[in-house]
Chains A and B, each alone.
Chain A
Amino acid sequence: MNGYGGSILRVDLTSGKVSKQPTPAEVAQKFIGGRGFGAYFLYTEVPAHADPLGPENKLIVSSGPLSGLMVPGAGKCDWTTKSPLTGGYASSSLGGHFTAEMRYAGIDSIIFEGISARPVYLVIDDDKIQLLDAASYWGRGTIEVEVALKEKHGEDFQVAVIGPGGENGVLFACINHDYGREAGRGGVGTVMGAKGLKAIVIRGTKSIPVADMDEYRKAGMALYRACIEAEGLKPWQTYGTTIVTSWCDEVGALPTRNFSAGSFEGGSKIYGAVMRDEIVITDKGCFGCPCPCGKYSHMKRYGTYVEGPEYETIGMLGSNVGLADIQAVAQANLLCDDLGIDTISAGGVIGWAMECFEKGILTTKDTDGLELRFGNTEAVFKLIEMIAYRKGLGALLAQGVKRAAQQVGKGSDKFAIHVKGMEQSAYATHNATAMLLAYMTCDVGAHHNRSWAITYDLQVGRDLVVPEKVARIIWLQDFRPMFDVLGSCRLQWVELGIDRDLYVPVLAAITGVHRTWKDLEEVGARIWNLTRMFWARENEGFGREWDLPATRFYEDPPTTGVTAGQITKLEDVQRLLDMYYEQRGWSENGLPTPETLERLGLRSMIAA
């Protein structure tokens, strides 16, 4: 099959057996790859109501037909599982170089099932595949283990590894790679740790079959040319995702003190230009990327280095916890990376804990003497460690903000900022109705990357509640995640504004199948509806209530900053959902109708 490595690798961690099957052509035709494969295998192979941390759950990592080939940023793979954090669908994208080695080893997906009785790690060296003892690595940080594994097996191997966070069952543990890239959200690292799997070490040396080599080279070069000639290349390369920090502060989107406001009085200390001046020493990129947006930073005060921080971490472990200090934010980033926990969820749950403390709901008796005030750097560092090792208050926070608030009570659920149990990422949405809807309806919980729409909100009117906004969000949700299906980064389109039609000929030349963006968006809609049905299958009573935003965004307007006094009314939240469900072809309670499932070719899968 052109464009595919050709194999699905199955690893049964209970028995220690590994096996391969050919990549099913009909699955490739309907779901293409990457996130599509993850959704398909999750729905069809994980039994209903499986314990996310039990042997029946599966962890599926998939590359896409563009991965590892001459396409800008073709270094993406998707990690899919049943989330221990939310109880629903988890899909997390990982950049770097891991996916390229999967492809060169002839592997389209790796499916992990079962639980190993002892810590193990998987080594893939083309067709030589073995599970090895990981006892000497268990308990150690991700960075030192990646170094050690590369020393042992070879620098040309790529490594995906969990840290103490995943080993100890922190519900938002991540999977680390290339010393600073993560599959961050939804607890994919937690599932890996529950399975006793410390790391995957991989190298491949085979070719990837391509349908039309000449057209592929021509179309691939056209994409590279578009990136290099993009007017925004220099600013993007200079600042990466931190381009938006100052702007978010200006427009009231910078999460501040547990999303109590959207502007931060200390914001100027954490803007992109300040970061570039104070700590950045070089740029760092993923496989095949001509516009490396990663930043490698040196924190002189601590004598440490980190890849990052990205905007999300600056928002969540900076302004959201009151830190007006880019070196401290970078150090917090490093702690999360090495311990293997998601910086976004960590910032969300720490921000909540700080608000609890400031309100007297938590006291120093609960915090082992820590003063959890916004802006207390040492408290942030200490809490990250306590979370990773589930010590003291960390044991509560490691469960995520939804469960923590349920256990603490005293009205703290009113300021637990999450949707479906996933902590909201770093855009405050007090008055930005398209972006609010994006968070409410995102397929994994409150994550921004499916349908980012803040500029659009500002262009058309931030408080408008109109069908056009809903249509925009739906289009973005069907379109943007397709990059995670294809196995390539979306930021070349997102940030440089290159023409997305340039991807059509290169995909056709690789796979031999011509697909327009309309065709691809139909696949996007298919995956979106399939994963919606997964949520419904796994969670009794799943429906509209699960799509509601954090109470703060309709009850608690900011008292400071650009959006002071602004809020979205609950009746408008409900109207947004009414329009969204109608346009999606869902019931009033938010479930795909039989007609919609039929139209998308899912009826027989769901009935099975």
Chain B
Amino acid sequence: MSIIIKPIGQLKAYINGEKEASIDGAGLTINEALTELGIPSLLVALVMVNDRQASKDYCLQDGDQVLIMSVLGGG
């Protein structure tokens, strides 16, 4: 089961500047997927799965579109 994860902005640095990364996401939570990609979970402020905010405990499913975002500058 291939999952596409799209980091926004500065998080791209963790996937060598690429626009997206593909992982074998079978049964992984978001947190586990971040670990696999080497992206520090604490820097990820928002996870959107299929255009909806999801928790980092969410278990990935086939076809999920995942977008992750850090908070660049706050309020």
Interface residues of A (CB under 8 A from B): 231-232, 234-235, 238-239, 241, 243-244, 246-247, 250-251, 271-273, 276, 311-312, 425, 427, 448-449, 452-455, 458-459, 480, 490, 493-495, 497
Contact = CB atoms under 8 A, between A and B. Distances in A.
Q: Which secondary structure characterizes the binding site on chain B?
A: loop
Contacts of A239: 46, 53
A282 B74 CA distance: 22
Given A232-B9, A247-B71, A458 B43 contact: yes
The CB with the most chain B CB atoms within 10 A, among A231, A311, A452, is that of: A231
Given A239-B53, A243-B45, A273-B52, A495 B67 contact: no
A97 to B, nearest CB: 21
Given A244-B45, A246-B55, A272-B53, A232 B74 contact: no
Given A232-B9, A234-B51, A243 B46 contact: yes
Nearest to B6: A231
30 contacts: A232-B69, A235-B48, A235-B53, A238-B48, A238-B51, A238-B53, A243-B45, A243-B46, A243-B69, A244-B45, A244-B74, A246-B53, A247-B45, A247-B46, A251-B42, A271-B53, A272-B53, A273-B52, A448-B74, A454-B74, A455-B43, A455-B45, A458-B42, A458-B43, A459-B43, A494-B72, A494-B73, A494-B75, A495-B72, A495-B73
A448 B71 contact: no
Q: Which secondary structure characterizes the binding site on chain A?
A: helix
A448 B75 contact: yes
Interface string B26-44: 0000000000000010111
Interface residues of B, number: 25
The CB with the most chain A CB atoms within 10 A, among B40, B56, B69, is that of: B69
Given A235-B48, A238-B48, 19 more contacts: A231-B8, A232-B69, A235-B8, A243-B46, A243-B69, A247-B45, A251-B42, A452-B73, A452-B75, A455-B70, A455-B71, A455-B72, A455-B73, A458-B40, A490-B73, A493-B73, A494-B72, A494-B75, A495-B72
A241 B51 contact: no
Contacts of A232: 8-9, 69
Contacts of A493: 73
A243 B46 CA distance: 6
B53 A273 contact: yes
A427 B73 CA distance: 13
B31 to A, nearest CB: 11
B51 A311 contact: no
Nearest to A311: B75
A311 B8 CA distance: 21
B74 A455 contact: yes
Contacts of B40: 458
Contacts of B71: 243-244, 247, 454-455, 495
Contacts of A448: 74-75
Nearest to B70: A455
Contacts of B53: 235, 238-239, 246, 271-273, 276
Contacts of A490: 73
Contacts of B55: 246
Contacts of A235: 8, 46, 48, 53, 67, 69
A527 B55 CA distance: 42
A455 to B, nearest CB: 5
Contacts of A244: 45, 71, 74-75
A458 B43 CA distance: 7
Contacts of B73: 452, 455, 480, 490, 493-495
